[in-house]
Structure 1
Amino acid sequence: MDELLRWQTDSGSIVVEGDQEQIGYASVAKRPGDIAYEVSGKLEEALKAFRDSAASALTVFRDDVLRPDEVEVEFGLKLNAEVGAVLAKASAEGSLVVKLRWARSGGEEQAS
């Protein structure tokens, strides 16, 4: 069942939809009459791990082995009340897409 989670941010709060059957409801509170669970922790803290993960992925793919002209890293994120941001599943596998592009000598791009 889907529930609403209220995350505090540096500029206010945001309400996101979450799955009640996921781990994480021990660290949240819902008072009678409230429509959303209050999540302990801030949204920015939950997202920092993915910022750091994206930076690590870019470092790996921008090294001198492949030398792409362009790197694109795409994460699918879910927000969890206890553990923060979680890599979302697109299906049975995790959702992480990496695209590398090299420019051909004729100015055309080639994707891999």
Structure 2
Amino acid sequence: MFCNKNQGEKETKTTNSQYEAGVYTSQVTLNGNPMEISVTLDNNHINAITVTNVSDTISTMYPLVQPAFDDIANQIVDSQSVKNVKFSKDSKYTYTMLYDAIVDTINKGKK
């Protein structure tokens, strides 16, 4: 009797969750140089957004990539939403490319 009630409660919590918990990744290629975006989700939160494998070539040729990525990631994690992210006017293309890649990665974990 109590087992059924607990299972029912667990199902309710699971069905109300926004994400499938886990780490989701995607690759972005910038001028032939790949970098990997990782998004860590739990059932209802975006816990972390990171970029790895940023080559020295990308860092040298595109110095705004890392600061733009960090800005977007911080805005999303702080607000827990991909809406109303503010882009820098000076590097709108970089922001747009990174934002789209982050949103695509987050969407992999959406229910």
Into which bin does the TM-score normalised by the smaller protein fall? under 0.3
Per the normalisation by structure 1, the TM-score is: 0.22
- Higher RCO (C-alpha under 8 Å, 6+ residues apart): 2
When you count strand as a share of all residues, which structure comes out higher? 1
* Higher share in helix: 2
When Rg is computed on C-alpha atoms for both structures, the one with the higher figure is 1
